[in-house]
Amino acid sequence: TCALPILASPSDLEKHDKRVLASFEKMHSYSRVIIGLAYAGLLAIWSATKQVLPERLLVASGLLIVLSILAYVIFEVGQMIFYTWMWWRYGDTAGKRGLAVALSEVEKRENRYRAPQILAWLIMFVIAAIAGFGATGILIYAFCRRLLRLG
């Protein structure tokens, strides 16, 4: 026997959309907390070890930390500006031309900007990750070197 698909009611689809959006928002908030804690930890370790770092490694690690944070902040601010613009356009279109037109246009805009947005995220992620891990590597190297000299 072949099972027929169960058609979802509009209220079921609305519940589904709310659940998916809530899950996405939770994951997004969680990742921001983790990233914030990682940067706080990196800065704390850098602050605690900078007295024992040679000047060249101190400057290099500090520059990499700044580059990593800057890449992350630039992406987040850019994303905030983009979504503010998107919602402003949506509200403006809904007020002038109606909700159905606004929904159609926002979907077209989201589809048009999805690939460039993913590319921007990928570029900033690579910059932030390489710089952050580079700084972490310098700090671990300096810490281990210092430990070996003490022992």
What string of DSSP letters covers 19-81?
A: HHHHHHHHHHHHHHHHHHHHHHHHHHHHHHHTTTS-HHHHHHHHHHHHHHHHHHHHHHHHHHH
C-alpha neighbours within 13 Å on the C-beta side of residue 111? 6
pLDDT tens digits, 18-56: 887 888 888 888 888 998 899 999 999 888 888 888 899
Q: What number is the average pLDDT over the span 98-125? A: 90
Provide Rg for the chain, Cα atoms.
Answer: 23
* pTM of the predicted model as reported, rounded to 2 decimal places: 0.74
Q: Is the per-residue pLDDT at 61 higher than 80?
A: yes
